[in-house]
Chain A
Amino acid sequence: MIATVHECAIDIGGMPILLRTDSSDFVRLLQDRYGSFINATGPRPVFELEVELLSLDSIKDPDQDVQVWRESGRWLMERGDFRAEWETERRRGWVRQTANPYSIDCVLRILHSLILAPEGGFLVHAASAVKNGRAFLFAGVSGAGKTTISRLAPSDVAVLTDEISYVRSGPHGYEAFGTPFAGELARIGANIRAQLEAVYLLVQGQENKIEPVSEIDALQAFLRNVLFFTHDSELVERVFLNAFDFVSGVPVYRLTFVPDAKVWELIA
């Protein structure tokens, strides 16, 4: 019996990845989860990923941190619930996982980080949103208000994500892209992009105010949120330098705010 192969392109950051699986149920699961990031039309993706589904009892140690390392020019990823490989040069790889959205989600975050690294981009624990055609990043320690400020966004502001922001370096500076990586907001972001105007370090307080931040404070506050998922020294260095250059190239402010919608009037 010939199994039908189903394909589905997930387009994040303007870098679509074509997923191939023999399960139409899994494709439906992906469509549910990734919504407008599933690109039925559009140019044929350059990146391809085979997904092989496993039975449930093949999960071991679900609490384990994902391990990512490089071997013979391939990237290997492993966690209790999945195994994956990715060949950077050939731009293809595979995932073996059970039929759940969390494994593929983790793999996608790592793959995008790997793809972004050589070109000055990275993923970072931060909320981001677009107002008046410009993007703003909101970083902060957990509980500082990333989800809160996303939730408070008025109707003319498009939330790109409340959890994992996607930053790419371009000829005119940095751009932020919407992602389907949602935190407690539990809503995928708008699938749009915009030039990054500023970064706000969030602090909840008794009034709304914006203050300057010293370069070294901005660097520490931001760098601690950048996604580092491997011990590979070359990649760590690349991502570190990307983040460093980013913080040096974009205005960073401290935003103290009272959790109500008026804070958005300050953002410009």
Chain B
Amino acid sequence: MNATYIARGTKLAGRKLKNQMVIMTARDSVLSVLNEVGTLIWDAADGATPLEAIVERKVCAGYDVDRTEALKDAEEFVQDLASDGILIVSDQPIVSSPNKASEAARGEHS
């Protein structure tokens, strides 16, 4: 099975509130709020780490979940976000150029 790579989308505005990522897509100004697991995956979306590794290191490590279930769940999640332009999903590593939108989307707020 090919590895899945994920990176944060562009044309987004986002801020983190405690452990939840709040993202607004410019395309339609729809607001998405990611829960803790979703935010862990979002945080790790660097374009270089395979999804399987992200799930293993971040999700399985912190939560008592079956690895296969967690991966299937994560794949559905990233496809869902990709369909709205929040994540970019590829079977190759993704090299993204830094831009204002992505930087803001990484912004943290305590």
B82 contacts the other chain (Cβ, under 8 Å)?
no
A178 to B9, CA, bound (A): 38
**What is the predominant secondary structure among interface residues of chain A facing chain B?**
helix
Does B15 lie within 8 Å of A231, measured CB to CB? no
With contact pairs A223-B31, A236-B24, A248-B109 given, residues A241 and B101 touching in the complex (Cβ less than 8 Å): no
Q: A220 contacts which chain B residues (CB < 8 A)?
A: 22, 31, 33
Please, how many angstroms separate the alpha-carbon atoms of A237 and B17 in the complex?
A: 16
What's the nearest-Cβ distance from chain A to residue B25, in Å?
A: 8
Residues of A near B24 (CB, < 8 A) are 223, 228, 236-237, 240
> Which of B10, B13, B15, B100 lies in contact with A236, CB distance below 8 A?
B13
Q: Contacts of B17 on A, CB cut-off 8 Å?
A: 215-216, 219, 248
Decide yes or no whether A260 CB sits under 8 A from chain B.
no
Is B104 part of the contact surface with A, judged by Cβ < 8 Å? yes
Residue of B nearest to A248 (CB): B109
Q: Please tell me if A156 contacts chain B, counting CB pairs below 8 Å.
A: no
Task: Judge if A244 is at the interface, Cβ distance under 8 Å.
Answer: yes
Q: Tell me whether A228 and B29 are in contact (CB under 8 A).
A: yes
Complex CA–CA separation, A228 to B33 (angstroms)? 17
Compute how far the CA of A237 lies from the CA of B14 in the bound complex, rounded to whole angstroms: 8
Q: A220-B33, A223-B31 are in contact. Are A236 and B26 (CB under 8 A)?
A: yes
B20 within 8 A of A: yes
Chain A residues with CB under 8 A of B18: 215-216
Check A231 against B28 for contact (C-beta < 8 Å). yes
User: Contact residue range for chain A?
Assistant: 10 to 19
Give complex CA distance A144, B79 in Å: 35
Query: Which of A216, A223, A232, A244 is in CB contact (< 8 Å) with B26?
Result: A232
Chain A residues within 8 Å of B27, by CB? 231
Measured in the bound complex, the distance between the Cα atoms of B101 and A219 in whole Å is 20
Interface members, chain B 65-110 (any A CB < 8 Å)? 100-101, 104, 109
Residue contact A244 to B109, C-beta cutoff 8 Å: yes
Q: Which residues of B contact A216 (CB under 8 A)?
A: 17-18, 20, 22, 33
Residues B31 and A237 in contact, CB atoms below 8 Å apart: no
B11 at the interface (CB under 8 A from A): yes
Query: CB of A224 within 8 A of chain B?
Result: yes
Q: Are B29 and A236 closer than 8 Å at their CB atoms?
A: yes
Does A64 sit at the interface, judged by CB under 8 A? Answer: no
A202-235 interface mask toward B, CB cutoff 8 Å, 1 = contact, 0 = none? 0000000000000110011001100010011110
Cβ distance A82 to chain B, nearest Cβ, rounded Å? 22
Whole-angstrom CA separation of A49 from B28 in the bound complex: 28
Q: How far is the CA of A232 from the CA of B28 in the complex (A)?
A: 10
Per-residue CB proximity of A74-104 to B under 8 Å, as 1/0? 0000000000000000000000000000000
Contact with A along B15-44 (1 / 0, CB 8 A): 101101010101111010100000000000
Could you tell me the distance in whole angstroms from the C-beta of A219 to the nearest C-beta in chain B? 6
Can you name the residue of chain B whose Cβ is closest to the Cβ of A220? B33
Would you mind naming 17 contact pairs between A and B with Cβ atoms under 8 Å apart? A215-B17, A216-B17, A216-B18, A220-B33, A223-B24, A228-B24, A231-B28, A233-B10, A233-B11, A233-B12, A233-B26, A236-B24, A236-B29, A237-B100, A244-B15, A244-B22, A248-B17
Residues of B in contact with A (beta carbons under 8 Å apart):
10-13, 15, 17-18, 20, 22, 24, 26-29, 31, 33, 100-101, 104, 109
Besides A220-B22, A237-B24, 5 new A-B residue pairs in contact (Cβ under 8 A), listed by A number: A223-B22, A233-B12, A233-B101, A236-B24, A248-B17
